[in-house]
Amino acid sequence: MARTPQDITDAELNVLNLLWQNGRSTVRFLTDTLYPGGSGAHYATVQKLLERLENKKFIKRDRKPWPHLFESKVDRQELI
């Protein structure tokens, strides 16, 4: 089933853009890149965004390594 741009928020798209650019990434890397010098609240925000993207089936989480790694399940063209 094709997805529409409305399926994703701007904040979620920012996370996906980082995953497309950098590949598999940790929450810490994503937080530090999106919010340089950010706080614990920023870390929690990115965690929530990742959780929402995972629930929407846009990303997947590798739970084997610690910290967990996240990667996109869709590419840019597929989303557009």
Q: What is the DSSP string of 3-38?
A: --GGGS-HHHHHHHHHHHHH-SB-HHHHHHHHSTT-
Round to whole Å and give the CA distance between 44 and 41: 5
User: CA-to-CA distance for 9 and 40, rounded, in angstroms?
Assistant: 22
Split at pLDDT 50, 70, 90, the class of 21 is very high
- Model pLDDT, residue 3: 52
Task: For residue 29, give Cα distances in angstroms to 23, 33, 77.
Answer: 11, 6, 24
Q: How far apart are CA 80 and CA 78, in angstroms?
A: 6
Please write the tens of the pLDDT for every residue from 29-72. Answer: 999 999 999 999 999 999 999 999 999 999 999 999 999 999 99
